[in-house]
């Protein structure tokens, strides 16, 4: 039985734990045996913390045994994207510049999971500093998509999504600045939720673009996403952008009911540049939702066309400022043998950062410089406001908007590395959501040539409940999430 545990969801395991049919140590052992069998192929992790995880599992078992009222995640192992600080465990952002960085504190989300008794099994791979859509920008290695190891798992949270899809983790945390939870979830056939900006604390999340970054769950199904949201959502005095608003119990919304839902299918994301099979899968999903009682109509958000260009000014501008701290003095790597301080700065950054990170720092610095600030940065902020207004208008007519999560299924490793614009366009449907600060979920809605397709549902700010309810209803009436990649060990 132990060998099978890695294939189960958190909520299934939780009920087995509560009935005392299994132990947390057994789950953790099962997950590590799976990692032992397939990690050589998948390469989802940057580091693995077996001893700490087993220690946490033993504590969780004691807690469960004591009869104490425990959280459903007590004893459930979770993998953490390697851009969230973990005390005493390296947090690299998959960058050479932070390869040996040991944070002195836990990110709030990490502390919350620890407190509930969820063992952290390891840190997952990402595009360096979360800049990318394929994990090919990792400073260490590329993660493989469990559905076809010749293809990318998406990014930047590709390690988290691949780990969940391959059974190397029961659930995982990712971060999403322009699609980094949803696009890899879509490519790997799992569920990914980007919460409303301010819903989850960013304290201890290494900053990429602070006005866009948000942490969220990557899970095997919608119920698990709700369980993780219950664990991580909420106000945190340590993050000045976290919002002090009550957090509902997200499990309560898991009822199969799509009636009264007015759904807008975003026509601007169903045309040029989107794969035919992806469009068919999304239209089929819309029909299915209609059958379940929802009303579906087309809606146009004409400013979405400008989202990618605006994002590629705003995100690099913020990144260029956030990444200024990696100068070889306070954090991480310092270049040796420089004759003076300025040369040491130059050498550290030249050796420590990869080419995509350097590209973003240069674009961002340029966009913020005197003389160009108004023409680029300010203009991009105006576009951002227009996009927000387009969404606000749409939400006067609809409860939820739907679209493909990504224009295509997973692409082949190497296919887009030399064409940054093609890579950037893979986030065309996800980026607008971050610019508007809204919540969105991606869930499996079909397959093309054996590769999963993701359906995106977008809601108004703080409407995660609605998204989870609609997603759950869809999931209950489809089988896509039950398919597993046929990945054999060895």
Question: How many Cα atoms within 13 Å fall on the side-chain side of residue 80?
Answer: 35
Rounded least distance, CB 199 to ligand GLN, Å: 16
Nearer to ligand GLN, 248 or 309 (CB): 309
The DSSP secondary structure of 154-191, one letter per residue, reads -SSTHHHHHHHHHTS-SEEEEEESSSTTHHHHHHHTSE
Nearest approach in angstroms of CB 32 to ligand GLN is 28
Instruction: Give the number of residues in contact with ligand GLN, rule: CB under 6 A.
Output: 13
Shortest distance, position 407 Cβ to ligand GLN, whole Å: 13
Among 95, 180, 219, 469, binds ligand GLN (CB under 6 A): 180
14 vs 214, which CB is nearer to ligand GLN?
A: 214
Asked whether the beta carbons of 151 and 451 are under 8 A apart, the reply is: yes
CA distance 65 to 440: 37
Return the structure tokens found at 268: 């601007």
Between the two ends of the chain, the Cα-to-Cα distance in Å is 20
Cα separation, 413 vs 155, whole angstroms: 12
177 binds ligand GLN (CB under 6 A): yes
Q: Residue 178: which of 151, 211, 202 has the closest Cα? A: 211
- Give dist(CA 111, CA 203) in Å, integer: 10
Contacts of 156 (CB under 8 A, 6+ apart): 126, 127, 130, 131, 132, 133, 135, 137, 175, 177, 180, 184
Among 26, 176, 224, 475, binds ligand GLN (CB under 6 A): 176
- 34 to 93, contacts with ligand GLN by CB under 6 A? none
Under rule CB under 6 A, residue 132 binds ligand GLN: yes
Task: Confirm or reject binding of residue 131 to ligand GLN (CB under 6 A).
Answer: yes
Q: What is the 3-state secondary structure (H, E, C) of 147-159?
A: CECCECCCCCCHH
| Choices 33-41, 53-61, 173-181, 405-413; region in contact with ligand GLN by CB under 6 A | 173-181
Residue listed under structure tokens 């759904």: 263
User: Strand, coil or helix: what is 476?
Assistant: helix
Shortest spacing between CB 135 and ligand GLN, in angstroms: 11
Q: Which residues are part of the catalytic machinery?
A: 81, 156, 180
Q: Which structure tokens are listed for 144?
A: 């493989």
* The binder of ligand GLN chosen from 165, 190, 205, 315 (CB under 6 A): 315
**3-class SS at 457?**
strand
Q: Does 178 sit near ligand GLN (CB under 6 A)?
A: yes
Which residue lies nearer to ligand GLN by CB, 427 or 465?
Answer: 427
CB of 179 to ligand GLN, least distance (A): 5
Q: Is the peptide bond before 221 cis (omega within 30 degrees of 0)?
A: no
Kindly indicate which of the ranges 53-61, 96-104, 127-135, 225-233 contains the residues binding ligand GLN, using the contact rule CB under 6 A: 127-135
**Residue range at the interface with ligand GLN (CB under 6 A); choices 125-133, 139-147, 223-231, 335-343:** 125-133
Token pair 């040029």 is found at 272
* Complex with ligand GLN: residue 39 or 176, whichever CB lies closer: 176
Check residue 156 for interaction with ligand GLN (CB under 6 A): yes
Smallest distance from ligand GLN to CB 154, Å: 9
Select from 123, 143, 158, 121 the least CA-distant residue to 47: 123
Q: Give every strand in the sheet of 214-219, ordered side by side.
A: 45-48, 120-124, 78-81, 171-176, 214-219, 191-194, 440-448, 451-459, 400-404, 262-266, 295-299
Q: Which one of the spans 1-9, 126-134, 286-294, 414-422 is the region binding ligand GLN (CB under 6 A)? A: 126-134
Pick the piece of the chain touching ligand GLN (CB under 6 A) from 12-20, 40-48, 171-179, 412-420: 171-179
Q: Which is nearer to ligand GLN, 315 or 429 (CB)?
A: 315
Which CB, 370 or 421, lies closer to ligand GLN?
421
Q: For residue 425, which of 272, 210, 208 has the smallest C-alpha distance?
A: 272
Place of tokens 């942490």: 215
Stretch that binds ligand GLN, among 64-72, 177-185, 257-265, 335-343 (CB under 6 A): 177-185
Is 427 one of the binding residues for ligand GLN (CB under 6 A)?
A: yes
Residue number with CB closer to ligand GLN (72 or 407): 407
Contact status, residue 82 vs residue 46, Cβ threshold 8 Å: yes
Q: Distance of CA 293 to CAs 253, 270, 471, Å?
A: 17, 22, 14
Q: How far is the CB of 312 from ligand GLN (least distance, A)?
A: 8
Nearer CB in complex with ligand GLN: 130/443: 130
How long a stretch of residues is the chain? 490
How many of the other CB atoms lie within 10 Å of CB of 472?
23
Q: Is 390 in the site for ligand GLN (CB under 6 A)?
A: no
361 scored as a contact of ligand GLN (CB under 6 A): no
Least distance CB 211 / ligand GLN (angstroms): 13
Q: Is the Cβ–Cβ distance between 254 and 469 less than 8 Å? A: yes
Give whichever of 24 and 177 is closer to ligand GLN, judged by the CB atom.
177
179 contributes a contact to ligand GLN by CB under 6 A: yes
The residues of the shown chain that bind ligand GLN, judged by CB under 6 A, are: 130-133, 156, 176-180, 208, 315, 427
């Amino acid at each position: 039985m132990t060998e099978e545990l890695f294939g189960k969801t958190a909520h299934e395991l939780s009920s087995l734990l509560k009935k005392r049919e299994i132990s947390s140590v057994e789950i953790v052992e099962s997950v590590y045996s799976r990692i032992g069998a397939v990690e050589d192929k998948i390469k989802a992790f940057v580091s693995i913390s077996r001893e700490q995880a087993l220690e946490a599992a033993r504590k969780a078992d004691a807690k469960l045994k004591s009869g104490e009222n425990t959280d459903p995640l007590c004893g459930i192992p979770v993998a953490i994207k390697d851009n969230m600080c973990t005390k005493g465990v390296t947090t690299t952002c998959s960058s050479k510049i932070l390869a040996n960085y040991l944070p002195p504190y836990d990110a709030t989300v990490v502390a919350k999971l620890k407190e509930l008794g969820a063992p952290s099994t390891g840190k997952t791979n990402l595009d360096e500093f979360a800049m990318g859509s394929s994990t090919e920008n990792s400073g260490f290695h590329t993660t493989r998509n469990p559905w076809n190891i010749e293809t990318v798992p998406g990014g930047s949270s590709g390690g988290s999504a691949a780990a969940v899809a391959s059974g190397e983790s029961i659930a995982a945390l990712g971060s999403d600045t322009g699609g980094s939870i949803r696009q890899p979830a879509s490519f790997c056939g799992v569920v990914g939720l980007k919460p409303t900006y301010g819903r989850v604390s960013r304290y201890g999340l290494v900053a990429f673009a602070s006005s866009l970054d948000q942490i969220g769950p990557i899970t095997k199904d919608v119920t698990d996403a709700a369980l993780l949201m219950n664990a991580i959502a909420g106000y945190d005095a340590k993050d000045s952008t976290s919002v002090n608003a009550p957090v509902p119990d997200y499990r309560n919304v898991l009822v199969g009911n799509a009636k009264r839902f007015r759904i807008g299918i975003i026509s601007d994301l169903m045309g040029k540049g989107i794969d035919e099979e992806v469009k068919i899968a999304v239209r089929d999903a819309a029909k299915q939702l209609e059958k379940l009682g929802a009303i579906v109509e087309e809606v146009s958000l004409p400013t979405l066309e400008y989202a990618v260009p605006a994002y590629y000014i705003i995100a690099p501008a913020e990144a260029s400022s956030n990444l200024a701290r990696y100068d070889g003095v306070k954090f991480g790597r310092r270049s040796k043998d420089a004759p003076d301080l300025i040369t040491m700065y130059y050498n550290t950054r030249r050796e420590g950062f990869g080419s995509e990170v350097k590209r973003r720092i240069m674009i961002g610095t340029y966009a913020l410089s005197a003389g160009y600030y108004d023409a680029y940065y300010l203009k991009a902020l105006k576009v951002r406001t227009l996009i927000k207004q387009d969404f606000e208008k749409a939400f006067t007519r609809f409860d939820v908007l739907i679209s493909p999560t990504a224009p295509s299924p997973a692409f082949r490793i190497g296919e887009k590395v030399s064409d940054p614009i093609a890579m950037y366009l893979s986030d065309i449907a996800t980026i607008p959501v971050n610019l508007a600060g809204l919540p969105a979920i991606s869930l499996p809605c079909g397959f093309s040539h054996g590769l999963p397709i993701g359906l995106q549902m977008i809601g108004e700010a703080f409407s995660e409940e609605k998204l989870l309810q609609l997603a759950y209803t869809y999931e209950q009436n489809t089988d896509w999430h039950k398919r597993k990649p046929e990945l054999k060990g060895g």
